[in-house]
Structure 1
Amino acid sequence: MSARTLGRSGVSVTSLGFGGAAVAGLFEDVGEEAAAAAVDAAWEAGIRYFDTAPHYGLGVSERRMGAALRSRPRDSFTLSTKVGRVLDPHDGGGDDRANGFAIAATHRRRWDFSADGVRRSLEDSLTRLGLDRVDLVLLHDPDDHEEQAFKEAYPALEELRAQGVVRAIGVGMNQARMLTRFVTDTDIDAVLCAGRYTLLEQGALDSLLPAAARTGKSVIIGGVFNSGLLANPAPDATYDYATAPDALVRRALRIRDVTEAHGVPLRAAALRFPFGHPAVGSVLLGARSAKQVRDAVEQFHRFLPDTVWEGLRAQDLLTAGVPVPRRSET
């Protein structure tokens, strides 16, 4: 699987990365063995970029990811985690389904974008991972903490990078506006943009992607299926982790009709679409089982004729200014 470098950091990521939310019980329970098998399948498929976060299952993702990767040579893979939510022990019982994870509520999340919070979060993550370092650290969802993220959290990350504690720094969010500000106003290496650059919507093309290309920074794309809508468009499909609006379901169904008319499954087109833009470094694959991983990798490697994109343009499902990938670009 091909690889690209994040900005000027020297940190390499494979075209497909493995996102660690699903194996932490996102929406439904995932056992330890199934989680380990999913990571193993990603490795066998040539994926060498793995992303996790304390938020994912209250640390479950980090513990499972670390356990699955620990036996591999540390220099053979790239690992990212996130800061901004500190986990405090909680013994009140209950589960974490209100936050989307089918796991016991052993901890509580606490927002903290202070410099001390960044350092503590990273130290805690390394403990859960059981590894000596991560390669990329991302500020996680600072939507409601913008000024503290810029004035306190970002300088702390910059210091950690200067000290060699991490090799690359960035921000991960479900929006493009603040990511664009980070790209233009700071010296980050990469951003993770979830759900805003997909076959269904291309809001990140307005400012974020051009800014990243102009400044030599990389964009990692998450949520390429828009929370499931582009994986299986149906009335009960999810979009942004909630029930998809009818209008979006209809649009997704139209996109599927076009791709399938050209012999291409919707999932294959959705996985490959972001690579039309030169600023995109990797697409994160969220999977909860080895079977899902193998299927997604198979879809990613399918041959996609240019007529797929031409057909979408003809139906006004992609505008003329949206770049599309060629086979050599993935």
Structure 2
Amino acid sequence: MRPTPRIGQLGLGAAALGNLFHPVDDADAAATVDVAWACGIRAFDTAPHYGLGLSERRLGDALRTRPRTQFTLSTKVGRLLRPRTGPPGDDLANGFAVPATHERVWDFSARGVRTSVEESLIRLGLDRVDTVYLHDPDGHEREAFNCAYPELERMRAEGMVAAIGVGMNQTAMPTRFVRDTDIDVVLLAGRYSLLDQSGLAALLPLAAERGVSVLVGGVFNSGLLADPRPGATFDYAPTPAHLLDRALALRALCETFGVPLRAAALQFPLGHPAVAGVLLGARSAAEVTDATAMLYHPIPEEMWLALRTQGLLPPDVPVPVPTLT
């Protein structure tokens, strides 16, 4: 029997359950969570942004009957959802195939943060979340540090949430949060992968030093490392030619060791001591099953050495140590 992941080692990111780019029907969304649970996944992440609350509602529906002490749940703050008064349309301009019934209002004020969590709990139909992240505060740095973060700290002290952090796809601001605040966790998307190790420069070493956990999202860089081919996306945009060539070279070398590139991409971040787990987005039961298999696909030390030797990874980057099964 294949071992199942520990809580947090592999988490399910629920953006796709909010119809990210393409619709997912209710049955497939529920099956995705059901199979994740059957595979041993016990960490789940969502946000109001994902499908204008659809992801939170679907995830809450799927988790509400599960024993609450057996899973961890995170959501995010920074965007309030308010009824839209304009003409009807869709939300595809923001990446989600849902009706544009609401609009997102940026709000990193103390009141906005608390209101956001309260409204998320209503959509989830649950009495608490475990972790709350400041979501993409790139253009709101002063308010995030001076208003939103102190309110999250108060909510943690009150016991309303267990852990607080920041979720971003850059490294500079999360590094400042680790250095200057008392956050518990960073959700780092796309900046620590086989193609982008920018998190290694400052953020990950500082997080390890300060005892701040890092969850890595975007290990496939939005698709390129899952299936490198012309037309694949990198960070949700067309892939530059040099990155496609690099991804193809990574895949070719991995295949000489009998290792799928997906397995290498999924396991690579776990080699760093600051990384507590990987958050993987999935829109179907099949994708969850594949991710679980890739997490435990054997990877020999020689493959990581070859990646370094051929310049496909930096010579000093930490890599996973094979475990005995």
Gap change, CA 1:151 and 1:176, over 3 Å in 2: same
Conserved? CA contact 1:84–1:113, under 8 Å: yes
Question: Residue 122 of structure 1 aligns to a residue in which SS?
Answer: helix
Shift of 1:329: 10
1:303 aligns with 2:298: yes
Gap change, CA 1:329 and 1:221, over 3 Å in 2: farther
Conserved? CA contact 1:190–1:217, under 8 Å: yes
Identity, % of aligned positions? 62
* Root mean square deviation, CA, Å: 1.2
2-side partners of 1:126 and 1:107: how far apart? 18
Shift of 1:155: 0.1
2-side partners of 1:327 and 1:26: how far apart? 34
1-side partners of 2:5 and 2:90: how far apart? 40
For normalisation by structure 1, the TM-score amounts to: 0.96
Partner of 1:24: 18
2-side partners of 1:110 and 1:179: how far apart? 22
Question: Residue 323 of structure 2 aligns to a residue in which SS?
Answer: helix
- Residues 72-95 of structure 1 show CA distances to partners (whole Å, capped at 9, x for unaligned) of 011110000000000001253100
Conserved? CA contact 2:214–2:275, under 8 Å: yes
Q: Map residues 186-225 of structure 1 onto 2, 5 A cutoff.
A: 186-225=181-220
Question: Residue 88 of structure 1 aligns to a residue in which SS?
Answer: strand
- Residues 265-319 of structure 1 show CA distances to partners (whole Å, capped at 9, x for unaligned) of 0000000000110110110111100011101111111111111111111210011
Question: Residue 133 of structure 2 aligns to a residue in which SS?
Answer: strand
Partner of 1:49: 43
Shift of 1:243: 0.8
**AA partner of residue 16 (structure 1):** L
Match of 1:162 among 123, 138, 157: 157
Shift of 1:328: 3.2
Match of 1:84 among 69, 78, 89: 78
1-side partners of 2:162 and 2:246: how far apart? 41
1-side partners of 2:223 and 2:312: how far apart? 18
Question: Residue 14 of structure 1 aligns to a residue in which SS?
Answer: coil
Match of 1:143 among 138, 153, 160: 138
**AA partner of residue 45 (structure 1):** C
Shift of 1:14: 2.4
Partner of 1:266: 261
Gaps of 5+ in 2: none
Question: Residue 132 of structure 2 aligns to a residue in which SS?
Answer: strand
Conserved? CA contact 1:193–1:222, under 8 Å: yes
**AA partner of residue 90 (structure 2):** D
**AA partner of residue 309 (structure 1):** W
1-side partners of 2:47 and 2:278: how far apart? 17
1-side partners of 2:84 and 2:312: how far apart? 47
1:249 aligns with 2:244: yes
Q: Map residues 33-72 of structure 1 onto 2, 5 A cutoff.
A: 33-72=27-66
Partner of 1:233: 228
Shift of 1:68: 0.3
Partner of 1:117: 112
- Residues 200-240 of structure 1 show CA distances to partners (whole Å, capped at 9, x for unaligned) of 11000000000000001100000000000100111100111
- Residues 36-67 of structure 1 show CA distances to partners (whole Å, capped at 9, x for unaligned) of 10011100000000000000000000000000
- Residues 90-133 of structure 1 show CA distances to partners (whole Å, capped at 9, x for unaligned) of 25310010011111111100100000000110001000000000
Shift of 1:2: 4.5
2-side partners of 1:76 and 1:93: how far apart? 40
Match of 2:166 among 166, 171, 180: 171
Partner of 1:75: 69
1:152 aligns with 2:147: yes
2-side partners of 1:329 and 1:188: how far apart? 34
2-side partners of 1:329 and 1:146: how far apart? 45
1-side partners of 2:37 and 2:322: how far apart? 23
2-side partners of 1:257 and 1:320: how far apart? 19
Conserved? CA contact 1:275–1:329, under 8 Å: no
For normalisation by structure 2, the TM-score amounts to: 0.97
Partner of 2:88: 93
